[in-house]
């Protein structure tokens, strides 16, 4: 799994890892350690960390962006994938990384409030645009 992950990142421009996965797979002690390790492979790194802030690392600088709190998640299936989709959509639309993370957090928060991994598109669009 390590080799496949590193091989994929070697040809990626953006990495969107989840810290608990990186901690388990690579032994990273902190999200910052994950960002530093992956920053050597790709230019833009956003380390997701569940309800904790996401860490953006880009061009030698880093910043955190708070997650959106959901009081009673219905189903967390698809939260990470929806974050990734929201982030990439925002970056492709020209949004800066921090704004893209805020939008991605909102999309993921909308997804965990419905059963299953697919929220209605109108719900996702509203979250992305809010």
Number of domains in the chain: 2
Do 61 and 6 fall within a single domain? yes
Sign of CA dihedral 99, 64, 14, 1: negative
Percent of the chain with pLDDT over 70: 100
Tokens found for residue 14: 């953006």
Q: Which domain holds residue 72?
A: 68-130
Predicted confidence at residue 20, as pLDDT, reads 97
Residue in the block written with tokens 């989840």: 18
Q: What is the pLDDT of residues 60-115, one digit of tens each?
A: 899 999 999 999 999 999 999 999 999 999 999 999 999 999 999 999 999 999 99
27 — pLDDT class (breaks 50, 70, 90): very high
Give me the sheet containing 54-58, strands edge to edge: 14-15, 44-47, 54-58, 61-65
> Catalytic: which of 75, 81, 99, 129?
81
Q: Is 21 marked active-site?
A: no
Do 48 and 76 fall within a single domain? no
Residue in the block written with tokens 């032994």: 27
The CATH number linked to 34 is 3.40.1620
Query: Looking at 39, 67, 95, which one is the last position of a domain?
Result: 67
Do 130 and 80 fall within a single domain? yes
Q: What is the pLDDT of residues 39-64, one digit of tens each?
A: 999 999 999 999 999 999 998 899 99
């Amino acid at each position: 799994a390590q080799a496949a992950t590193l091989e994929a990142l070697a040809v990626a421009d953006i990495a969107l890892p989840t810290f608990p996965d990186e901690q388990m797979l690579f032994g990273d002690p902190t999200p910052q350690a994950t960002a530093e390790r992956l920053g050597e492979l790709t230019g833009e790194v956003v380390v997701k960390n569940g309800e904790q802030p996401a860490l953006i690392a880009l061009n030698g600088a880093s910043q955190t962006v708070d997650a959106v709190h959901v009081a009673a998640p219905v189903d967390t299936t698809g939260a990470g994938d929806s974050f990734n989709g929201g982030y990439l959509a925002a970056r492709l639309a020209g949004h800066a990384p921090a704004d893209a993370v805020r939008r991605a957090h909102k999309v993921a928060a909308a997804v965990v409030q419905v059963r299953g991994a697919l929220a209605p598109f109108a719900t996702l669009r509203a979250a992305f645009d809010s």
